[in-house]
Amino acid sequence: MTTARPASDSERSSIPVFDQRPAEHPSWIVPRSAYLHIPFCAHKCGYCDFASVAGQDDLADAYLDALRHEIRRSLDDLPSLDTIFVGGGTPTRLSALQLERFCDIVRDTFRLLPGYEWTIEANPGTLDRDKVAILARHGVTRVSLGAQSFDSDALAALERNHAPRDVFRSVELVREAGLKWSLDLIFGAPGSSTRTWNSDLDTVLGLAPYHLSCYGLVYEKGTELWKRLQAGLVEPVDEDLEASMYETTIDRLSAAGLDQYEISNYAKSGFECRHNLVYWRNDAYYGFGLGAARYVAGLRATNIRDLPGYIRRIERGEDVTGPSERLSPLERAGETATLMIRRTSIGIGRADFFIRTGFELDALFGPVLRKHESNGLISDDGHTIHLTRKGIMLADCVAADFTEPIQP
Ligand code: SF4
């Protein structure tokens, strides 16, 4: 939460005025980050909208071959990377041998810059000592564990297939290996209450985490949980209750030294996820694998989500790109503001925004800034815009207003 106060008139007059556009900042052109996708899961959780597959583990070896080919043929030489994020799916669903192969692919296809961050997502039910040792040996620095809840009823409602004890065991293994770790939690699962959510927070704080991601449950269209909601078989938690769970999360984690640095992410200072900060700055990143998104030099593209189709196309030397869109400079500026405002602690710095986009924030969003400052959703100290506490609660609405910049 920001404590920045609104700008006084005299401060406003000192807002830096830029009369020359800077040279294009290379961070939106040249990626220093890559996302790699491993789609395999033991089963499909009810709320899952990700590019994940269950019951197709027999395709894992062919998938790793295809992934290596996709990376190799997309890049002229070994790119130097500062961050890698391996998501899924469940990367640790791969066998120990396959995980070893996968890590070799990463080491063979990318050059990792000194001090790099390499995160891998793991399902607590699929992590064991051997796999953690493989990750540590290959230089993974951070494990993101999909805990979601410590409440058996909530895990059942979300159709997760791990038990709370798996989370404790996984944290222990990752800690012993000297890796950083983070936990994902979901609040607002059907049947949850203030009591169960506070109990989850008690438990997670008992583990002394340095990074947590806490999301409100979303009933994504087409998922099993969404279908059950449509059929009246699931009762969602009340909106006010969910908002109060979110507020409780912010307050309790902040009191424990885990500051909210993005609307769903909390960390001790220096333990923020650098890879995700790349997304929220709208910097460039590569994306490889099934359904993976990439954003390079203003071109946003997403790979196809059909696993056999992905492997087949790569084997035939065909493109695996699905939907893509080239953003105009103005669209890119709109996206940049929309993403940056999510950074609750950093906000949108006027000078930074100009350097990244070539546009002055006030020229594109003057009326939006004035509207949300007067309704108390943002604060403005003359240099930086932040969401206020009230704005954090309505972050999606505020961010949506930045998608349509004024044509300068
Ligand atoms: S483990 Fe994660 S990716 Fe796999 S089905 Fe469940 S929510 Fe989706």
Closest CA to 138 of 73, 72, 94, 75: 94
Q: 51 CA distance to ligand 1 centroid (A)?
A: 9
> What was the pLDDT predicted at 57?
97
pLDDT at 17: 31
pLDDT bin (cut points 50, 70, 90) of residue 28 is confident
Does ligand 1 come within 6 angstroms of the Cβ of 48?
yes
Model confidence band, residue 112 (pLDDT cutoffs 50, 70, 90) = very high
The domain ranges of the chain are 1-17+329-408, 26-281
> How do residues 139-186 score in pLDDT, each as one tens digit?
999 999 999 999 999 999 998 988 899 999 999 999 999 999 999 999
Query: Beta strands 321-326 and 348-349: pairing type?
Result: unpaired
Assess whether pLDDT exceeds 90 at residue 76: no
**3-state class of 377 per DSSP?**
coil
Q: What is the pLDDT of residue 78?
A: 87
Q: Do domains 1-17+329-408 and 26-281 have the same CATH topology?
A: no
Which of 40, 43, 44 most suits a substitution to test ligand 1, by most atoms within 8 Å of the C-beta? 44
pLDDT band per the 50, 70, 90 thresholds, residue 4:
very low
In angstroms, the Cα distances linking 182 to 7, 122, 129, 165, 247 are 36, 10, 18, 16, 20
Average pLDDT over residues 351-364: 95
At 18 the pLDDT is 31
Residue 331 has pLDDT above 90, yes or no: yes
Res 90: pLDDT? 95
Residue nearest to atom 5 of ligand 1 (CA): 44
Given a contact cutoff of 8 angstroms between Cβ atoms, the answer to whether 134 and 64 are in contact is no
On the CB side of 340, CA atoms within 13 Å amount to: 27
**CB pairs under 8 A, 24+ apart, for 244-250?**
244/194, 245/187, 245/188, 245/192, 245/194, 245/197, 245/216, 246/187, 246/216, 246/393, 247/393, 248/194, 248/197, 248/198, 248/201, 249/187, 249/197, 249/201, 249/214, 250/1, 250/389, 250/392
- Quickly list DSSP for 219-286: --TTSHHHHHHHTT---PPPHHHHHHHHHHHHHHHHHTT-EEEETTEEE-TT-S-HHHHHHHHT--BE
Instruction: Select from 47, 53, 56, 90 the residue to mutate for testing ligand 1; criterion: most ligand atoms less than 8 Å from CB.
Output: 90
C-beta 101 within 6 A of ligand 1: no
pLDDT of 66 > 50? The answer is: yes
Cβ–ligand 1 contact at 50 (below 6 Å):
yes
Output the CA 146–ligand 1 centroid distance in Å: 9
- Confidence (pLDDT) at 161: 84
Q: Does ligand 1 come within 6 angstroms of the Cβ of 271?
A: no
Average pLDDT of the segment spanning 72-82: 91
Region 297-307: what's the mean pLDDT? 96
- The verdict on the CB of residue 41 being under 6 Å from ligand 1 is yes
For residue 19, what pLDDT is reported? 29
Categorize the per-residue pLDDT at 16 as very low, low, confident or very high, splitting at 50, 70 and 90. Answer: very low
Cross-strand partners of 379: 386
Whether 191 has a pLDDT exceeding 50, the answer reads yes
Residue 1 has pLDDT above 50, yes or no: no
Topology annotation, domain 1-17+329-408 = Arc Repressor Mutant, subunit A (1.10.10)
Per-residue pLDDT band for 369 (boundaries 50, 70, 90) equals: very high
Separation of 120 CA from ligand 1 center, angstroms?
14
20 pLDDT exceeds 80?
no
Contacts of 190 (CB under 8 A, 6+ apart): 157, 217, 234, 235, 236, 237
Is 5 a residue whose pLDDT tops 90?
no
Nearest CA to ligand 1 atom 6: 45
Question: For ligand 1, is residue 123 a contact (CB within 6 Å)?
Answer: yes
Q: Is the pTM of this model over 0.75?
A: yes
Task: Pick one of 3.30.1490.20, 3.30.750.200, 3.30.429.10, 3.50.50.60 as the CATH number of 26-281.
Answer: 3.30.750.200
Long-range pairs of 14-20 with CB within 8 A, sequence gap ≥ 24: 14/382, 15/350, 15/362, 15/382, 15/383, 16/350, 16/351, 16/354, 16/383, 17/360, 18/351, 18/354, 18/360
Q: Is residue 90 a contact partner of residue 52, using CB atoms and an 8 Å limit?
A: yes
